[in-house]
Amino acid sequence: MTIPVLPRISDYVGHWAGIHPEREALVGDSVRWTYRELQAEVDAIAAALVGQGVGRGDRVALLGRTRPECFAHFLATASIGAIWVGLNPRYTLDEITAILADSRPRLVFSMIEPSETGFAELLGGISEQTGPSVPLITRGDAGPGISTGWAAFLAAGTDRSSLDVARKAVEPHDAAAMIYTSGTTGKSKGALVPHVGLSSCGVIQTSRWYGDAPRKLCDLPLNHIGGLGDICTSILTAGGTVVFMAKFDAAGALRMVERERLTHLYYIPTQLLAAVETPEWETCDLSSLEWILWGGAAAPLGLLERLAQKGAKLGTSYSLTESTGSVTYTEPDDPLDVLAWSVGRIDPRYEVTIRRADGSTANDGEEGEILIRGEHITLGYFGRPEATREAIDADGWLHTGDLARIEPNGHVRLAGRLKEMYKSGGYNVYPREIESVLEQHPGVSLASVVGVPDDRWGEVGHAFVVAGDVSADELETFLAERLANYKRPKRLWLEQSLPRLPIGKVDKAALRRRIAAEPKPTSRENR
C-alpha cells in the first residue's frame, strides 16, 4: 500500500480509522485504543480545546509521561492548528517555568496526579508562574491551584461544525509542535516542527523500516523528537501500533516485546547495552522483532554482535530535532563493522550536502558541515529570529553544526561538531546552559564545561569551576535542583583559575588535554 503524505500529521488518525478501524493504535497501562477509539478521543479533546478558545498558532503545554493519553493530546492540539509544547516531568520547576515563560501557552495541562510525591508542589509552582490568566487543567479532578478538571474541560467542548472549521484552516506548513533544545547562550530554544515535516518524514521512514501494521515500543519522552517523531508519528503514518511505557526499563522492555509481539525497538546505544545485560535478553521470546534500531550515538561493534544474534535486522540513521526526521539510513545488509561507524547513506528524497567552511561543496572523503534543506525542516525557533537566521541561511539550508564526510561507498561518517554541544545518552547538551546555572551560585566566579567520551552515555559533561568557600557536593546539589539529570556533569573539579586564550576566553582545548591525561573515571550513574 502506498501511503500518502497528508496535509496534517493528525489527519492519519482519520485515515487509518477509515481503513482499519479496529486495529490497535495506542496501547498503555490502562487503555488499548483502536484507531476508531483514538479518533473519538482526539476529536473530543480537540472540540474541548476549541471550546476554550484555542486557535491556530496558540501554544498549548502538557506536563506528562510517555502515555497514550499524552500522544492523543498532541494529536488533538495539532489538529486545530495549535502548537503543542511538551513538558518533561524530569525537569525541575525552574526549567519548566522557563519554557512556559518563553512559549506563553494559552492553556497548561497536567497528566500527572497531584498525589504523586513532589508533584503537588510542582503544579503549585506552575500555577503561580502562569497566573490566573492561563488555566491549569488536570486529567483528574480540579484541586488547589488547578482551574479545571478533565470532565469539566471535555464537557465545554464545541460542536462538530466549529471543530471542522478550525481544522480546515490548518496548513501543511503550520507548526504542530515546539520542541525545546538547549542553546549555546544557555537558554533553551523552541524549535517549531511543521505538520508536513512529521508527515513526509514519517512516510519515508515507513518505506525504510516498516511493513504492514508495525508494533513499536515508546518509552522515550514525548517532548523529544525521538519519542514524538521517530516513534509515535512515524508509526501513526504507517498505520501501526505504539505500545507505551512510562519510563525506560531494560528488562521490562524485553518482557513487553514478548507480551505485545513488538516488531520494532528504537533506542540509544546506552539503552541497548543495558538490555543485553539483563537475564531477559536470553529468556524472553524476541522472535517477533523485525528491526532493532538506534540513534543519537554510534553503537559499539561488540553490542552489534550481540544484537545480531536475535536475527532481527539492524539499522541506524542521522537526524536532529531541527530536521524533524532522519535524512540518512543504513541498509539491512550493511555489515556490522560498517554499522559501527556509519549513519547510512543520504536518502535520495532529501536534499543534503556537506560544505566546507567557505561554503563550497566538500569532495567525497573530505570533512565538512552537514546542511539540510526542504519543507520538512524546522520553521525556526519561536520568538528568536536571530537564532533562526543563524541556523537557516537565506537559501533555506539548515546548518546542523555536525561535521561529516562521505566515504567512497556513499556511507556518511560523522566526524565531530562545529559547536560545543555534546550528546549524552542521545540528548543534546549545551555546556553554556550548565555554566550559566553554575555561575548563578554566589560562591562561583567562573565555570567551564566540556563534553568528554564515555563508554556508557556516549559523552558526558566535565565541569571546571572557580569558586570560593563551596564544596563540589554543594554544587552538585545546586545543579540537581535546577537541571535535568542528563544535563548534569559527571565530574566536577574545583580550580583556582582556568587557562585562557590570548583573546581572554577559557581555553577549552587545554581543559580537554587535562582530562585526557587523567586516569579514566567510572561513569557516575546520574540518570
Q: 3-state DSSP: the chain helix, strand, coil percent, rounded to 5?
A: 35, 25, 40
What tens digit of pLDDT does each residue of 452-497 get?
Answer: 988 889 899 999 999 988 999 999 999 999 999 999 999 999 999 8
Least confident stretch, 24-33, 277-286, 387-396, 435-444 = 435-444
pLDDT at 12 over 60: yes
Q: How confident is the model at residue 524 (pLDDT cuts 50, 70, 90)?
A: very low
The mean pLDDT value of the chain amounts to 91
Average pLDDT of span 127-151: 77
**Residue type (1 letter), 19:** I
Gyration radius of the chain's alpha carbons: 23
pLDDT at residue number 468: 87
Q: How confident is the model at residue 115 (pLDDT cuts 50, 70, 90)?
A: low
Average pLDDT of span 379-396: 97
User: What separation, in Å, do the N-terminal and C-terminal C-alpha atoms of the chain show?
Assistant: 42
Query: Could you tell me the residue ranges of all domains in the chain?
Result: 11-247, 429-517
Cα 153 to the center of its chain, rounded Å: 28
What tens digit of pLDDT does each residue of 250-303 get?
Answer: 999 999 999 999 999 999 888 898 999 999 999 999 999 999 999 987 888 889
Q: Which CATH number fits domain 11-247: 3.40.50.12780, 3.40.50.720, 3.30.930.10, 2.60.260.20?
A: 3.40.50.12780
HEC states along 297-342? Answer: CCCCHHHHHHHHCCCCEEEEEECCHHHCCCCEECCCCCCHHHHCCE
Helix (H) or strand (E) holding 38: helix 35-51
Q: How far apart are CA 42 and CA 17, in angstroms?
A: 12
* Strand-pair partners of 464: 448, 493
Share of the chain above pLDDT 70, in %: 95
pLDDT at 522 over 60: no
Strands 136-138 and 351-355: unpaired
Least confident stretch, 170-174, 328-332, 420-424, 499-503 = 499-503
Q: How far apart are CA 420 and CA 401, in angstroms?
A: 9
Query: What CATH topology corresponds to 429-517?
Result: GMP Synthetase; Chain A, domain 3 (3.30.300)
Per-position DSSP letters for 425-491, written without gaps between them: TTEEE-HHHHHHHHTTSTTEEEEEEEEEEETTTEEEEEEEEEESS--HHHHHHHHHTTS-GGGS-SE
pLDDT at residue number 326: 98
